[in-house]
Amino acid sequence: MAAPIICGRPGLFVLLAAALLTPAHAGALRYPPTERGDTVETMFGEEVADPYRWLEQDLRTDKAVGAWVDAENRLTASYLDTLQGRPAIEARLRQLWNYERFGVPRKRGSHYFYMHNSGLQSQSVLFVRDGLSGKARALIDPNSWPQDAAMAIDQWVPSQDGALLAYSVQYRGSDWRTLHIVDVVTGKLLDDQIDWVKFSGIAWDGDGGGFFYSRFPEPPAGAAYQQVNLGHQVWHHAIGTSQSADRLVYATPDRPELNHGAVTTEDGRYLLIISSQGTDERYQLTLFDLSRPESKPRRLVRGFANEWALIGSIGSKLLLRTDYLAPNGRVVMIDVAGGIGKPLEIIPQNRKVLAGASLVGGRLILAYVGDATTEAELHELDGRLVTPINLPDIGTGAGFGGRIGDPETFFSFSSYAIPPTIYRLNTSTGKVDIFARPKLAFDPGDYRVEQLFYSSKDGTRIPIFIARKKSTPPGAPALLYGYGGFNVAQTPGFSPAVLQWMEMGGVYAVASLRGGGEYGMAWHDAGRLANKQNVFDDFITAGEFLISSGISAKGRLAAMGRSNGGLLVGAVVNQRPDLFAAVNPAVGVMDMLRFTHFTAGRYWVDDYGDPARADDFRILRGYSPYHNIRDHEDYPAIMVTTADTDDRVVPAHSFKYAAALQSADIGSRPHLLRVDSRAGHSGGRSTDQLIEDYADLWAFFGHWTGLTVPVAP
C-alpha cells in the first residue's frame, strides 16, 4: 500500500504539516477542497445523488483527479508524521520481515522449483534444483528488473518434463499479465511474449511444445484500467512463435460475459475448458481430446449449477472434485471414453468442507476446512482412508501437488505465530520430513492462538480466532479483521505485521463470517444477496463479543478489511459508528450502485446482486458505504487505503467514499485517504512497500486504541 510520495515524508512535508494540521491529539484537520457536483440519477423512483462522480476518472489522465489525490496523500503523510512511535514500528517490522522464506516446491522431471526470499529482498526469486539435494540456482530474479517498473512474478508453471517454464509478470499490481518462457537448463529467456492476459492459468501440452492460456481483447488506448472486461477467450501458444500466430481454441462471442479457463491432464491427452459467468463456483465443462485433433469438443457438464475441479486422470477416467449433490464437496469419477458417463462417487461428502484434492503417487490427498482450519487426509483411489496427515496446530496447510506416478509431494503449514514451514511427504510410506524451516527473531511459544465461538444477532454460532501474546492482559487494544464473501474461507496464516501488532501488546482477531466458505454452500448463501446484512451483523457482534468478554475494551477496538472486507468495514461503520475507535477499509467496494460499470465489477453480482434490478437496488442502496454516511454521528478515526493501479476494485470507490466522509459532519477524528502508487489490488508489492504500509497502519491504530507503541530506535 505504500506510495513513494509517502515514503519521502521526512524532508518533503514539514511545511505542509504545519499548514494543514495541528498535532494529532488536537484532531483539527483541514481537508483538501473537493468540488461537489450536482449529479443526481433517478433509480427505481428514488433520486440518488452522486456529487463526486467526477472522481471516477482515471487519475493518470485526468489532471483534476490526479491533483486531488496528491493533495490527499500529502495530508495523510503529514498527519502520520505526527504519530509518536511510527519510526520504531517501522524499524521493528524490518527486523521481523528479515527472515528466510521458502515457497512450496513443484517437481517436474528431475527439477525442483520453488520461490525463495533471503529476508528483505524486494521480490522473491524463483529457484531450481537439479535433484532434491542438487545445488540451488536462481532461474528468475525480479529484483534484477528495473525497480521503477514495479514488476513482480505472479504465477509460474513448468512444462510436463521440466525443460521449459512459463511465467507471468504483474506490472504495478494490475490484474493484466504478460507471459514469458525460460529455458530451465540454460536459464535463457526465450523471445516469446504474450500480452493482455488476465484471469488466466497456464496449461502445458503433454510434449511441452506449447500451452493454453486465457485473455481478453486488447483494450483501447487509455481504457486498460477501467473498461469492463468482456470477451474472454482461450488461446494456444506454440513455443518459438509470435503471439500473432497463436490459435484461438475457445470463445463464446454470443455470450461475451462468460470467462473461460483451461486445464490439461498430466498425460496431455485431454484439455478441459472451465466456463463461468460470475464469481460463484458454478461451471460448465467442455472437453477436448488432444490425442484426436480431428475430434470435436464435447460438453462434459452442461449449465452453470455446480463446482467442478479437475483432480487428475487415469486413462479416460477423469477424477473431479464437485459439490454436485453434495454441498460440502465430494470426489467423483467420469469415464469419457466413447460417450460421457455419469459421475461415479469415489469419496462422499462429510460434515467438513472439501477445499482441495490432488492425485499423487496413485493416491488421493484431500484437504478439508473444519472449523476454519485445515485438515488433510490420504486416501486410496477407491476412496478408502489410508491415514490422516497430521498438521502441527491450529493453522493452514497448503500445497500437496504432485504427479500420479511419483509419491513425492510438498506442503506448507502456517499460523498466526508460525511462519510457513515446508514439509515433504511420501504418499507411499506416509513419511513426513521437513524441507525448509525458517530461523526466527522471535519465539512462537510466546504466543497463543485459540478459536472461540460467539452468537450473532440471529443466534448463529460464529467462529473467531484470537491470537495474542500469552502475557497480554485483559482489555487490551484489539484489531478485528473480516471478509465474509465470495465463498472464501478465512484460515490462520502468518504475517510479520500481525506478529508485530501482537508483540506490541495488541490482540488480533479474525471472525469467520457468513458469506465465506468456512462451512460450505449454506454458509456462503447465508451471507450474500438479500442475506448480506448477516455479514455485517456477524462482524458487529464479533466486536461486541471482544468487548463483553474482556478480551478488549470499549474505545480500544479497531477494524480492518480488504476488498469485500473494505465494503464490510465501510458498511459496519455507518451502522455502528460507536463500536470502533479506528478503522481501515482497504481497496473496498464502496459505491454499491455503480460497481458493475468498471473492469471486473460485473462478476460480483453473484454475491451482491445487480443494481440494475429493482429488488437488488433497494438492498444495495440500504448498505452502500458511500450512500449511507450518517451526519451528526461521532465516527471513528478512518484511514481509507487504495492504489492507483487497482483495476479490480477501481480506486474511484475509495476516492468518492473518502470525499463523502470528509464533507460530512461526523466528528473531529481524522478521516484520511492514502493512495499507493505503482501498486494494485493485491500481490506484487515490494517488501519495502509492505513495511511502509503496516508501519502507517499500526501507528494509526495504535494511537487511537491506546496501544503502547515502542520508543524511537
First to last CA, the chain: 24
681 noted as active-site residue: yes
Distance CA 95, CA 605 (A): 43
pLDDT at 183 over 70: yes
Return the pLDDT at 340: 83
Q: What is the CATH number of the domain that holds 39?
A: 3.40.50.1820
Are 322 and 251 members of one domain?
yes
Are 520 and 548 members of one domain?
yes
Are 61 and 166 members of one domain?
no
Measured from the Cβ of residue 45, the count of other Cβ atoms closer than 10 Å reads: 6
Measured from the Cβ of residue 248, the count of other Cβ atoms closer than 10 Å reads: 9
- 101: in domain: no
**Of the candidates 403, 436, 469, which is a domain's last residue?**
436
Are 432 and 491 members of one domain?
no
- 261: in domain: yes
Are 234 and 331 members of one domain?
yes
Average confidence (pLDDT) over 86-94: 95
Return the pLDDT at 24: 39
Q: How far, in Å, are 216, 256, 262, 278, 289 from residue 228 at the CA level? A: 11, 11, 22, 13, 33
Positive or negative, the Cα torsion across 59, 64, 70, 76? negative
Q: How confident is the model at residue 10 (pLDDT cuts 50, 70, 90)?
A: very low
Catalytic residue among 412, 552, 563, 624: 563
- 331: in domain: yes
pTM check: above 0.75: yes
- 141: in domain: no
Average confidence (pLDDT) over 494-501: 97
Are 386 and 471 members of one domain?
no
**Of the candidates 436, 462, 491, which is a domain's last residue?**
436
Are 404 and 457 members of one domain?
no
Tell me the average pLDDT of the chain.
93
Angle value at C-alpha 277, between 324 and 299, nearest 5 degrees: 60
Q: How confident is the model at residue 393 (pLDDT cuts 50, 70, 90)?
A: confident
Average confidence (pLDDT) over 49-54: 98
Return the pLDDT at 84: 85
Are 346 and 407 members of one domain?
yes
Predicted confidence (pLDDT) per residue in 600-640, tens digit = 999 999 999 999 999 999 999 999 999 999 999 999 999 99
Are 75 and 38 members of one domain?
yes
Average confidence (pLDDT) over 311-319: 97
Alpha carbon of residue 341 to chain centroid: 36
Are 91 and 164 members of one domain?
no
Residue 142: exposure state from Cβ atoms within 10 A (0-12, 13-18, ≥19): buried
159 noted as active-site residue: no
**Of the candidates 380, 401, 436, which is a domain's last residue?**
436
Treating both helix axes as pointing N-terminal to C-terminal, what angle do 86-97 and 687-705 enclose, rounded to 10 degrees?
140
Residue 11 belongs to what domain range? 4-24+31-95+442-705
Catalytic residue among 180, 653, 671, 681: 681
- 603: in domain: yes
Return the pLDDT at 610: 98
- 121: in domain: no
- Least confident among 138-142, 219-223, 298-302: 219-223
Are 430 and 446 members of one domain?
no
Q: What is the CATH number of the domain that holds 306?
A: 2.130.10.120
Please give the helix or strand (H or E) that residue 572 lies within, else none.
helix 564-575
Return the pLDDT at 148: 67
Q: Which of 690, 555, 701 is nearest to 638 (CA)?
A: 701
Average confidence (pLDDT) over 54-71: 95
Q: What is the DSSP string of 406-418?
A: EEEEEEEEEETTE
Average confidence (pLDDT) over 367-391: 94
- 122: in domain: no
Predicted confidence (pLDDT) per residue in 251-285, tens digit = 999 999 999 999 999 999 999 999 999 999 999 99
> CA torsion 709→503→411→376, rounded to 10°?
-120
Alpha carbon of residue 672 to chain centroid: 24
Distance CA 700, CA 163 (A): 49
- 145: in domain: no
Please answer whether residues 658 and 76 qualify as being in contact, where contact means their C-beta atoms are separated by less than 8 angstroms.
no
Predicted confidence (pLDDT) per residue in 630-688, tens digit = 999 999 999 999 999 988 999 999 999 999 999 999 999 999 999 998 788 887 789 99
Predicted confidence (pLDDT) per residue in 544-584, tens digit = 999 999 999 999 999 999 999 999 999 999 999 999 999 99
Query: What domain count does the chain have?
Result: 2
Q: How confident is the model at residue 711 (pLDDT cuts 50, 70, 90)?
A: low
Q: How confident is the model at residue 149 (pLDDT cuts 50, 70, 90)?
A: low
Predicted confidence (pLDDT) per residue in 514-539, tens digit = 999 999 999 999 999 999 999 999 99
Whose grid coordinates read 511462519?
Answer: 419
> Which residue type is seen at 227?
Q
Predicted confidence (pLDDT) per residue in 16-42, tens digit = 222 334 333 334 789 999 999 999 999
Average confidence (pLDDT) over 229-250: 97
Return the pLDDT at 712: 52
Return the pLDDT at 683: 78
Are 417 and 447 members of one domain?
no
Return the pLDDT at 519: 95
Return the pLDDT at 3: 29
Return the pLDDT at 22: 35
Return the pLDDT at 17: 28
